[in-house]
């Protein structure tokens, strides 16, 4: 695949936790304007890949190119400055900060003059957050925290949005709502999204393309529709799953 229109190119990335190998030479491409999903079982290394893109932990070998620049040796805060935002595994809301302060943290790299507009935009997407604006992050429900994590990531006006399991532990109705919002952001604003999911059915339906990760390796890739039809995918991630 040509890498010219790629916003993110990952080549041969290996990541270790101490001596334990988590990623064994991963190749992934994300083109500008795409929604790409990464599916796989628990412990396959999906979240590790998300964090490796942001330099925490760093890739031991391989190359990560974002927007034309190799970022595999760049410190985390500088990678974020270049236009990547992540809603990480476990949401990681600041529990002792208000919803508003969490959003301000998301916006801290952006010029203050955009703040009011951006705030209005995320409140339009997630009206629930507006009602909770002065409540402490730690007191929100799981679904509200997930909304806040995504909203906080959006406040930084990213070129690439990394979403790690936005559906985890949420009621089906809210999952549907969140997936619709991701789709809207992608089609209306051209936001590029790299989405990690265990909820393979929803994710593959939403995404333009998908990758399957098993034990730190990418084992399959293709368009969402193709992967949905593959027997291996159906057997491993869909049959009896949540659809």
Partner 1 sequence: MEYFLQQLINGLTLGSIYGLIAIGYTMVYGIIGMINFAHGDIFMVGSFIALATFLALVALGISALPLILFITLLVSMLFTSAWGWTVERLAYRPLRGSFRLAPLITAIGMSIVLQNFVQITQGARVKPLPPQIQGGVTLMEGVTENGTIAVQLSYMQMIIIATTLALMIGFSLLISKTSLGRSQRACEQDQKMAALLGVNVDRTISLTFVMGAALAAVAGFMFLLLYGVIDFYIGFLAGVKAFTAAVLGGIGSLPGAMLGGLLIGLIEVFWSGYFSVEYKDVAAFSILVIVLIFMPSGLLGKPEVEKV
**Residue 161 CB, nearest approach to partner 1 (Å):** 12
**Residue 157 CB, nearest approach to partner 1 (Å):** 11
Nearer to partner 1, 195 or 227 (CB): 195
**Residue 13 CB, nearest approach to partner 1 (Å):** 18
**Residue 71 CB, nearest approach to partner 1 (Å):** 14
Nearer to partner 1, 58 or 208 (CB): 58
Nearer to partner 1, 104 or 215 (CB): 104
Nearer to partner 1, 106 or 224 (CB): 106
**Residue 109 CB, nearest approach to partner 1 (Å):** 4
Nearer to partner 1, 110 or 225 (CB): 110
DSSP per position, the chain: ---TTEEEEEEEEEEEETTEEEEEEEEEEEETT-EEEEEE-TTSSHHHHHHHHTTSSPPSEEEEEETTEE-TTS-HHHHHHTTEEEE-TT----TTSBHHHHHHHHTTTS-GGGHHHHHHHHHHH-HHHHHTTTSBGGGS-HHHHHHHHHHHHHTT--SEEEEE-TTTT--HHHHHHHHHHHHHHHHHH--EEEEEES-HHHHHHH-SEEEEEETTEEEEEEEHHHHHH-HHHIIIIITTS--
Contact residues for partner 1, defined by CB under 8 A: 54, 56, 75-77, 80-81, 86, 88, 90, 92, 94-97, 101, 104-106, 108-109, 152, 156
């Amino acid at each position: 695949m040509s890498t010219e229109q790629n916003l993110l190119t990952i080549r041969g990335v290996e990541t270790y936790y101490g001596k334990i190998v988590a990623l064994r030479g991963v190749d992934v491409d994300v083109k500008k304007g795409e929604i790409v999903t990464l599916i796989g079982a628990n412990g396959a290394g999906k979240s590790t890949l998300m964090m490796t893109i942001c330099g925490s932990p760093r890739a031991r070998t391989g190359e990560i190119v974002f927007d034309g620049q190799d970022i595999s040796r760049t410190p985390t805060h500088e990678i974020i400055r270049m236009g990547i935002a992540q809603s990480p595994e476990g949401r990681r809301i600041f529990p002792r900060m208000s919803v508003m302060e969490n959003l301000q943290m998301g916006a801290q790299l952006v010029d203050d003059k955009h703040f009011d507009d951006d705030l209005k935009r995320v409140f339009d997407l997630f009206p629930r957050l507006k009602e909770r604006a002065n409540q402490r992050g730690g007191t929100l429900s799981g679904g509200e925290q997930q909304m806040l994590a995504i909203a906080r990531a959006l406040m930084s006006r990213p070129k690439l949005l990394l979403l790690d399991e936005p559906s985890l532990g949420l009621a089906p109705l809210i999952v549907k709502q969140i997936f619709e919002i991701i789709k809207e952001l992608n089609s209306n604003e051209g936001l590029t999204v790299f989405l990690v999911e265990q909820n393979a059915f929803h994710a593959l339906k939403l995404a333009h393309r998908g990758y399957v990760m098993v034990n730190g390796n990418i084992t399959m890739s293709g368009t969402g529709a193709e992967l949905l039809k593959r027997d291996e995918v159906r057997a491993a991630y869909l049959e009896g799953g949540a659809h």
